[in-house]
């Protein structure tokens, strides 16, 4: 009897043990509870074969992949430096592994390139949007939304892939008695990270890393052509009958175009992204890949602007240095590729007259390089005048032959520090500026500048003389001021604008108003002189009615010209 009980107990014990082992064998557990680097409620990182343990996780939002800068530096690119003062990261690439559009352009940067990108400070941590920078950093990025895992692979041209011949379980350890992390189905593919006897360390399509038995896995070697080329040569520009361009002033971070309505009739948007800041030709970059993608979705082309900081002494140093000019051009070539730009707008102002020829040669150099990407190149210039360092340094005739388009800035008739109050752009002054410019530049290459801003002039009597100062205002602000103060406005036929004035605290305030009426008159000049189109400064200062006026005049130019001929 005792013997039977003993046997029974042994059987029970064995069955219990098998039940426990079976439960362990088949039980699925949460990978986030097993993989120490993983944390629930945040985006986790897997770099090649390793889950990265970090206190600050990536942020995936609005088509951006914001990666903590410290993680990039530690695991991906050690040649990255963060400047908290300027919210910017600097990457010094001594031997680029990425490629530009052509072999000729690759040869330009093979000795190295220094780049910089804006970082965002979020909750005390600096992040860099790595979307669009994969080739620069030498990585492949895959965000798996279902598991909230960001998989980053460094470039490699071959991988071992396992194709499952049966259903298997992914385990955290190399034993069948380990818990099950996940169920994998027949036909599913896994990335094989290493082989250890009968066990394979793998990464699944969900981003999980663990072990599977090698018995029912078909191992294949796959070769890849690493995509090192950032971009392709652009398709030929299809010029509209009349170009409608607007400059978008970007001080630092670009606006989110996805939250803005598409502007009917707008062809080109020109963000002020690039500025030369040092004598060696270093270019501050405020580019944003999401901005370009959203612009393209809205049907806009993007011609990013590069300026000289309006510093004539710095410009002199740059134009005297072949190396500085080479640095500028090479940086713009790389940024044009990264951001998928359609064109570059050159905005060099306040240049010594003696540097006139050197500026022309530089414009020829950068245009020649950008044409290898098939980008459109344009340049901004003032209305012709006798001011040597503000106007005469432009060799308009030669520049007009080099670039695709010239924008004549037919505004600031009365500039910010003008000693006399007056219109920003009276219709007669604008027309005379066009006529003067057409002596040097063909009409089919000329875009007329249009102001979206208005100046309010403050006049004060000081010792019997009128002292003047001004402030630029948006159209909306002026309209609100008129309504708030219940001001009367008067149309000035010779000026082509409404005018108002008022007195306050012993001072006289005068406003020559830019609105849809004055803009319509100016736009009609582009049709009268059959210009390439218009370029407006700047986006955000206009009222919605202005776009309607521009669209009606510019985009219906053929119909309007036909009516005049009849």
pLDDT of residue 564: 40
Cα-based angle 209, 157, 106 (whole degrees, multiple of 5):
130
Q: What is the pLDDT of residues 85-124, one digit of tens each?
A: 999 999 999 999 999 999 999 999 999 999 999 999 999 9
* Residue 296: strand pairing partners: none
Short-list 339, 314, 318, CA closest to 329? 318
pLDDT at 196 over 60: yes
What does the domain layout of the chain look like in residue ranges?
A: 36-223, 243-450+519-565
Q: What is the pLDDT of residues 272-327, one digit of tens each?
A: 999 999 999 999 999 999 999 999 999 999 999 999 999 999 999 999 999 999 99
**C-beta of residue 131 within 8 angstroms of C-beta of residue 290:** yes
- CATH code 3.65.10.10 for 243-450+519-565: no
- Report DSSP letters for 380-431, one per residue: EEEPP-S-IIIIIT--HHHHHHHSSEEEEE---SS-TT-SS---SS-HHHHH
Assessment of whether the complete model's pTM goes beyond 0.75: yes
Short-list 160, 153, 210, 159, CA closest to 184? 210
The class level of CATH for 36-223 reads mainly beta
- Any idea which of 25-34, 134-143, 171-180, 290-299 has the lowest mean pLDDT? 25-34
**C-beta of residue 365 within 8 angstroms of C-beta of residue 334:** no
pLDDT at 563 over 60: no
User: Per-residue b/e over 190-226, b at no fewer than 16 CB within 10 Å?
Assistant: bbbbeeeeebbbbbbeebbbbbbebeebeeeeeeeee
Rounded Cα distance, 357 and 166, in Å: 74
Task: Provide Rg for the chain, Cα atoms.
Answer: 32
Q: What is the pLDDT of residues 219-249, one digit of tens each?
A: 999 999 999 999 999 999 999 999 999 999 9
| Cβ within 8 Å of residue 399, ≥6 positions away | 360, 363, 379, 381, 406, 441
Share of the chain above pLDDT 90, in %: 89
Could you say which DSSP state residue 234 is in?
A: P
- Report DSSP letters for 85-105, one per residue: TTTEEEEEESS--SB-SSHHH
pLDDT of residue 460: 97
Q: What is the pLDDT of residues 419-454, one digit of tens each?
A: 999 999 999 999 999 999 999 999 999 999 999 999
Q: For residue 158, give the H/E element and its range.
A: strand 158-164
Q: What is the pLDDT of residues 47-96, one digit of tens each?
A: 999 999 888 899 999 889 999 999 999 999 999 999 999 999 999 999 99
Task: Tell me whether the CATH fold assigned to 36-223 matches the one assigned to 243-450+519-565.
Answer: no
Helix ranges restricted to H, 211-311:
289-297
Task: Report the 3 state secondary structure along 332-391.
Answer: HHHHHHHCCCCEEEEECCCCCHHHHHHHHHHHHHHHHHHHCCCCEEEEEEECCCCCHHHH
- Report DSSP letters for 436-453, one per residue: HHTTTS-GGGEEEEEE-E
Residue bearing the bigger pLDDT, 12 or 346: 346
Short-list 360, 363, 380, CA closest to 371? 363
pLDDT of residue 35: 67
State whether residue 470 is helix, strand or coil. Answer: strand
N-term to C-term CA, the chain? 123
């Amino acid at each position: 009897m005792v013997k039977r009980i003993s046997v029974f107990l042994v059987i029970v014990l064995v069955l219990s043990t098998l039940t426990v082992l079976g439960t362990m064998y088949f039980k699925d557990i949460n990978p986030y509870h097993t993989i120490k680097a993983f944390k629930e409620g945040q985006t986790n990182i897997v770099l090649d074969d390793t889950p990265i343990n970090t206190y600050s996780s990536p942020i995936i939002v609005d088509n951006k992949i914001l990666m903590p800068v410290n993680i990039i530096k530690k695991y991906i690119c050690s040649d990255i430096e963060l400047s908290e003062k300027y919210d910017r990261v600097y990457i010094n690439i001594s031997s680029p592994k990425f490629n530009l559009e052509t072999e000729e352009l690759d040869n330009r940067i093979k000795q190295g390139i220094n780049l910089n990108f804006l970082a965002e400070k979020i909750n005390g941590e600096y992040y860099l949007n790595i979307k669009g920078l994969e080739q620069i950093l030498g990585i492949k990025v895959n965000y798996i939304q279902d598991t909230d895992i960001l998989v980053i692979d460094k470039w490699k041209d071959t991988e071992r892939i396992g194709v499952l011949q049966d259903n298997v379980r992914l385990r955290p350890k190399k034993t069948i008695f380990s818990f099950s992390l996940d169920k994998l189905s027949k036909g599913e593919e896994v990335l094989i990270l290493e082989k250890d006897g009968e066990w394979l360390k793998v990464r699944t399509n969900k981003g999980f890393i663990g072990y599977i038995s090698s018995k029912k896995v078909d191992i294949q070697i796959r070769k890849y052509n690493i995509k090192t080329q950032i971009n392709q040569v652009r398709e030929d520009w299809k010029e509209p009958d009349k170009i409608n361009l607007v400059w978008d002033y970007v001080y630092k971070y670009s606006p989110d175009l996805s939250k803005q309505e598409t502007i009917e009739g707008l062809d080109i948007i020109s963000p002020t992204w690039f500025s030369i800041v040092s004598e060696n030709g270093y270019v501050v970059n405020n580019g944003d890949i999401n901005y370009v993608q959203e612009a393209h979705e809205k049907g806009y082309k993007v011609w990013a602007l590069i300026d000289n900081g309006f510093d004539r002494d710095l410009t002199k140093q740059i134009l005297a240095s072949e190396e500085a000019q080479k640095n500028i051009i090479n940086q713009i070539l790389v940024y044009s590729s990264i951001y998928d730009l359609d064109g570059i707008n050159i905005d060099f102002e306040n240049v010594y007259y003696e540097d006139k020829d050197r500026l022309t040669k530089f414009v020829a150099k950068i245009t020649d390089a950008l044409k290898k990407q098939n980008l459109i190149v344009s340049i901004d210039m003032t209305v012709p005048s006798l001011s040597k360092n503000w106007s005469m340094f432009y060799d308009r005739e030669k520049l007009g032959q080099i670039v695709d388009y010239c924008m004549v800035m037919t505004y600031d008739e009365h500039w910010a520090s003008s000693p006399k109050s007056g219109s920003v752009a009276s219709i007669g002054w604008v027309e005379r500026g066009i006529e003067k410019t057409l002596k040097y530049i063909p009409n089919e290459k000329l875009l007329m500048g249009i102001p979206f801003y208005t100046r309010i002039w403050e006049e004060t009597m000081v010792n019997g003389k009128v002292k003047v100062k001004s402030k630029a205002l948006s159209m909306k602000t002026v309209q609100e001021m008129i309504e708030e103060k219940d001001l009367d406005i008067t149309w000035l036929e010779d000026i082509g604008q409404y005018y108002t004035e008022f007195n306050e605290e012993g001072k006289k305030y005068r406003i020559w108003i830019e609105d849809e009426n004055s803009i319509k008159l100016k736009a009609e000049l582009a049709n009268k002189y059959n210009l390439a189109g218009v370029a407006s400064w700047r986006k955000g200062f206009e009222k919605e009615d202005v776009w309607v006026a521009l669209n009606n005049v510019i985009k219906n130019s053929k119909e309007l010209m036909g009516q005049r001929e009849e």
